Copies of this chain bind each other. A is one copy, B any other.
Amino acid sequence: MNNYKLTIQYDGNRYKGWQRLGDSDSTIQGKIEKAISVLTGEAIEIIGSSRTDAGVHALHQVANVKIAQPLTTERMMSFLNHYLPPDISVIQVEQVDERFHARFHATDKTYVYKIWNREYSQPFLRKYSMHVVKPLDVLKIKEAAAHFIGEHDFTAYANAKSKKKDSVRTIYSLDLVEQDGMLELRVTGNGFLYNMVRKIVGTLIAAGLGEIQPDHIPAIIASKDRAQTGGMADAEGLYLEHIRFKE
């Protein structure tokens, strides 16, 4: 079998997330699988590195797909970009070792979260960021962010629906950059539970608004109590930015 690695960018607004559901037109995975099936005539399945949630965007999602017939990467890229709607783009296609698995071989992932912090809205990013009207204290957010770094049991930050038995994850970095009213939070970890990034951002916003004291965060994490974490940030501010794989 020929194994292809696809790097994919998408605007998540119109979709119910990455993972295929019954109706293939409502998910990114479904859309791309349909395009590859039309191209090859084969029944295929694509494996995404990250199952982004409804409304979440990707700058560099990675997926792999195995196909019986050999196709040039140029042909594949050209066909997919003609077939797919303009809110999903395949920005790179590479032929890779047959053993490469986009989910199992991912070692760490980086997400970006954008917060627009002015009284007025940002017309061009209104569907690509979360609008927080009240002023955020950037130093408080940075102070709060530091408490998430390292290995923790993130049960308090898991979705109630999460079926994962092991909620221990390691966050390598969680940085904030602010420019002209736009806050960008960038988090890298070895994996994230369902809704975990948006729940962490929810806590950071609460810290920036003075509703949660940063030094209370270790206790929130230790509590393993979902009720203590505050709100969950909106989906449209979240971007899957980068995935690293083991060599």
The residues of A with any CB-CB pair to B shorter than 8 Å are 9-11, 57, 77-78, 81, 86-91, 119-124, 126, 128, 131
Contacts and interface: CB of A to CB of B under 8 A. Distances in A.
Contact of A122 (B57, B89, B126): B89
A30 B9 CA distance: 37
Contacts of A128: 124
A119 B78 contact: yes
Say how many copies of this protein the assembly contains.
Answer: 2
Contacts of A78: 119
Contacts of A11: 123-124, 126
Contact of A121 (B81, B119, B122): B81
Contacts of A81: 119-121
A126 B86 contact: yes
Contact of A10 (B9, B77, B123): B123
A123 B88 contact: yes
Contact of A119 (B77, B119, B124, B131): B77
A130 to B, nearest CB: 12
Contacts of A89: 120-123
A71 B88 CA distance: 47
Contacts of A119: 77-78, 81
Contacts of A86: 121, 123, 126, 131
Contacts of A126: 11, 86-87
A90 B126 CA distance: 14
Contacts of A123: 9-11, 57, 86-89
Contacts of A88: 123
A119 B91 CA distance: 9
Contacts of A91: 120
A124 B128 CA distance: 8
